Structure 1
């Protein structure tokens, strides 16, 4: 297992990016989910921003979920279990 500070830092970075930049999928890239991040980014860009609000809401929800989990639960769910969505 990585150190608590690494997990906590990644959790906070992903949570804040999800809340502020959710439509661009930056929080997915922070967690190492390149495919999912690319999907969110391309959906937002290729629809000329029409679907960006939906991606933004998804990012907001995921950011809140990340920040409300304990460090251990976050680590087990997103870093070990590789749960990509919600």
Structure 2
């Protein structure tokens, strides 16, 4: 059992959707996009994927993503979000 299992259900509301969470992702994505644009279709291994927010962002950019996390509860949420996104 991971420490993140206990916070998995509220993680997106508490962090992903928070102002700092959104700004952090915007900065990271802005930095990564030019690099990743030359690599579409490649495989990416994401360690510590949490609720899958970044894995979904990568998959929408035509990457084959394998996302892993120590928290089984985070993985459950990531799977649901991925299915909902149609990926």
Greater strand content: 2
TM over 0.5: no
TM-score (ref. length: structure 2): 0.28
Greater helix content: 1
TM-score (ref. length: structure 1): 0.28
Q: Which has the larger radius of gyration?
A: 2
